[in-house]
């Protein structure tokens, strides 16, 4: 990743990579802290990165650098989910509940303070599973969803046999060969241009280097394969209607769906569906497509900051 500039380092400091143990697995995280003010009275942000080839907590670097450049004082927790980054990468078929339990352990043993969850893309199910836990839900004061899945996708329940078939196919020599190809620059550039970014020029060297570095360890394929096998697709419509926390849905003006079941949904239709089902939901559109914290960082930071101010005012 690009080193933090001296100008940025005056605004915040980043801890060395720290670790805690959950179920005998080593889980990595870092903490970003403003350097010039006591942040103990502020609500913290907990960032949940997306799952994909080479993705990890480093997805959020542009966000937290820009966050502190604007003078914000909130402490930021930035964990690597199991199977990603510097966390252990066991050979398992990960589910949203696995990652939610990992973060629950983080709350109980590391964070121990109120947070606002900032969740990228299809990791929304992890937040859903997390806030369903009564021992944690009171600590989550709000949720920000960056480009959540199309409504037909998040509400669909994948068939168990289909999930297992997809996993077994991917967890094979064929899947191994596919991952070796998928972590190459040609595939990463093409996929990012077709599915993630609004503008091809935004698929830059920084982005590709980040993915390349994150995918070097072949064991990183298991989290990606679990995602591709749709172990996260559990039919969450009813669970979404029970989310009591204020929830902000941030959508790109050119938002699209990777899944075939969501390709016909417009950004406006997605916004309407979430508003109709989230008890305390609101939506906002900004420039961009599907990776807003990275491609439209300044706009995303402004929207998040406004929401955080609202939550802090009522807490």
Q: Tell me, what's the pLDDT at 262?
A: 47
Q: pLDDT per residue over 268-311, tens digit each?
A: 999 999 999 999 999 999 999 999 999 999 999 999 999 999 99
- pTM equals 0.94
Q: How would you class 312 by CB atoms within 10 Å of its CB: exposed for 0-12, middle for 13-18, buried for 19 or more? A: middle
Residue 97's domain comprises 6-314
Query: What total of structural domains would you count in the chain?
Result: 1
Q: Tell me, what's the pLDDT at 7?
A: 40
Q: Which residues, 6+ apart, have CB-to-CB distance to 3 below 8 Å?
A: none
Residue 187 in this model has a pLDDT that exceeds 70: yes
CA distance 139 to 205: 38
Q: pLDDT per residue over 255-280, tens digit each?
A: 997 655 545 789 999 999 999 999 99
CA distance 75 to 12: 9
**Tokens of residue 302, six digits:** 């402004």
CA distance 311 to 315: 6
Average pLDDT, the chain: 92
Domain harbouring 300, CATH code: 3.40.50.1820
CA distance 136 to 171: 33
Look at residue 1 and tell me if it is in a domain.
no
Look at residue 180 and tell me if it is in a domain.
yes
| Most distant CA atoms of the chain, gap in Å | 54
Mean pLDDT, rounded, for 20-44: 85
Mean pLDDT, rounded, for 97-106: 95
Q: Long-range pairs for 89-94 at CB < 8 Å and ≥24 separation?
A: 89/217, 89/219, 89/220, 89/222, 89/223, 90/25, 90/222, 91/219, 91/222, 92/222, 92/226, 93/167, 93/171, 93/222, 93/225, 93/226, 93/229, 93/231, 94/222, 94/223, 94/226, 94/227, 94/231
Mean pLDDT, rounded, for 29-53: 86
Look at residue 168 and tell me if it is in a domain.
yes
Confidence of residue 94 (pLDDT cuts 50, 70, 90): very high
Other residues' Cβ atoms within 10 Å of the Cβ of residue 264: 10
Look at residue 33 and tell me if it is in a domain.
yes
Residue 41 in this model has a pLDDT that exceeds 80: no
Look at residue 83 and tell me if it is in a domain.
yes
Q: Tell me, what's the pLDDT at 259?
A: 59
Look at residue 280 and tell me if it is in a domain.
yes
Look at residue 153 and tell me if it is in a domain.
yes
């Amino acid at each position: 990743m690009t080193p933090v500039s001296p100008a940025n380092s005056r605004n915040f400091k980043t801890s060395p990579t720290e670790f805690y143990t959950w179920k005998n697995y080593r889980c990595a995280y870092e903490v970003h802290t403003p350097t010039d003010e006591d942040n103990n009275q502020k609500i913290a942000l907990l960032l949940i990165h997306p799952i994909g080839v080479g993705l990890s907590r480093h997805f959020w670097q542009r966000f937290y650098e820009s966050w502190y450049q604007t003078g914000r004082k909130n402490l930021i927790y930035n964990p690597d989910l199991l199977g990603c980054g510097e966390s252990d990468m066991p050979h398992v078929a990960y589910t949203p509940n696995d990652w939610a339990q990992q973060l629950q352990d983080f709350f109980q043993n590391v964070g121990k303070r109120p947070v606002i969850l900032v969740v990228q893309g299809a990791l929304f199910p992890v937040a859903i599973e997390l806030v369903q836990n009564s021992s944690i839900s009171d600590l989550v004061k709000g949720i920000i969803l960056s480009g959540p899945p199309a409504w037909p996708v998040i509400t669909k329940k994948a068939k168990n046999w289909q999930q297992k078939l997809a996993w077994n196919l991917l967890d094979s020599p064929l899947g191994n060969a596919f991952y070796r190809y998928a972590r190459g620059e040609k595939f990463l550039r093409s996929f990012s241009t077709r599915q993630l970014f609004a503008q091809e020029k935004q698929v830059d060297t920084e982005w590709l280097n980040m993915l390349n570095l994150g995918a070097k360890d072949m064991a990183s394929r298991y989290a990606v394969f679990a995602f591709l096998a749709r172990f996260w697709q559990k039919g969450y419509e009813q669970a979404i209607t029970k989310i009591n926390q204020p929830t902000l849905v941030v959508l790109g003006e050119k938002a699209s769906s990777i899944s075939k079941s969501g390709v016909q949904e417009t950004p406006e239709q997605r916004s309407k569906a979430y508003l109709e089902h989230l008890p305390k939901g609101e939506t906002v559109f900004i420039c961009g497509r599907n990776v807003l914290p990275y491609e439209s960082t300044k706009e995303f930071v402004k929207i998040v900051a406004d929401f955080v101010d609202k939550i802090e005012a009522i807490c």
